[in-house]
């Protein structure tokens, strides 16, 4: 069984897919992993819109320039802005809701990696346009997209920085 670090290193941003569909059970497992991500105030103001319809995936892609390749599924992480502000104040609406979906997305990508499913987090998309295509209720805002699918080629491998490069300061120890 692979350790956490193995899965972390296995996860890559995938931008080229085979076209093979991802089974519903695997997507449910991935969402279960997202549900275990930390959430400010344990508020969980986000929900996920799952898209597996090929035509709708194309339409979402056409307003999401950061989504490359043709994924088999898209998970749209949508925040209830009103709930975020009500439960966590103004910071909830301006900051925490984005941190929460980022935590959830990381779990999605790691669970995907464990299941052999490639993923790519996307910020370059038009929130209004994706919301309109998904017919998201008005209190929700699409804050993050994660593309899923089986990769058909190894992604480019940017060099990762060393531990020393990441440490700003280290006090005590």
Partner 1 sequence: MKEKDGRARGEWIELFCFISSSARSLVGEPEIYGPFRLVDTLERIIDLLGRQGVLDDEFLNSEKEKIVEKKFDVMVNRESFIDFLDELVMDFTRELKKEEL
Q: Which residues bind partner 1 (CB under 8 A)?
A: 15, 58-59, 61-66, 68, 124-126, 129, 155-159
Nearer to partner 1, 21 or 66 (CB): 66
Lookup: tokens for 86 = 């009500």
CB of 33 to partner 1, least distance (A): 26
| C-beta of residue 107 within 8 angstroms of C-beta of residue 114 | no
CB of 14 to partner 1, least distance (A): 12
Nearer to partner 1, 52 or 127 (CB): 127
CA 141/CA 126 separation, integer angstroms:
11
Question: What contacts 36, CB < 8 A, 6 or more positions away?
Answer: 107
Nearer to partner 1, 11 or 29 (CB): 11
Residue 47 has φ and ψ, to the nearest 5°, of -135, 165
């Amino acid at each position: 069984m692979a350790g956490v670090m193995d899965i972390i290193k296995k996860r890559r941003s995938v931008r080229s897919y085979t076209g093979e569909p991802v089974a519903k059970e695997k997507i449910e497992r991935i969402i279960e992993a997202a549900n275990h991500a930390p959430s400010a105030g344990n508020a969980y103001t986000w929900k996920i819109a799952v898209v597996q319809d090929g035509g709708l995936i194309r339409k979402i892609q056409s307003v999401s320039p950061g989504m490359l390749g043709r994924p088999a599924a898209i998970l749209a992480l949508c925040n209830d802005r009103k709930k975020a502000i009500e439960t966590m104040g103004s910071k909830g609406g301006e900051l925490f809701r984005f941190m929460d979906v980022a935590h959830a997305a990381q779990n999605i990508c790691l669970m995907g990696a464990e299941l052999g499913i490639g993923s790519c987090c996307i910020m370059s998309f038009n929130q209004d346009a994706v919301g309109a295509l998904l017919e998201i209720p008005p209190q929700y805002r699409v804050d993050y997209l994660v593309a899923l699918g089986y990769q058909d080629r190894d992604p480019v491998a940017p060099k990762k920085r060393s531990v020393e490069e990441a440490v700003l300061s280290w006090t005590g120890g």
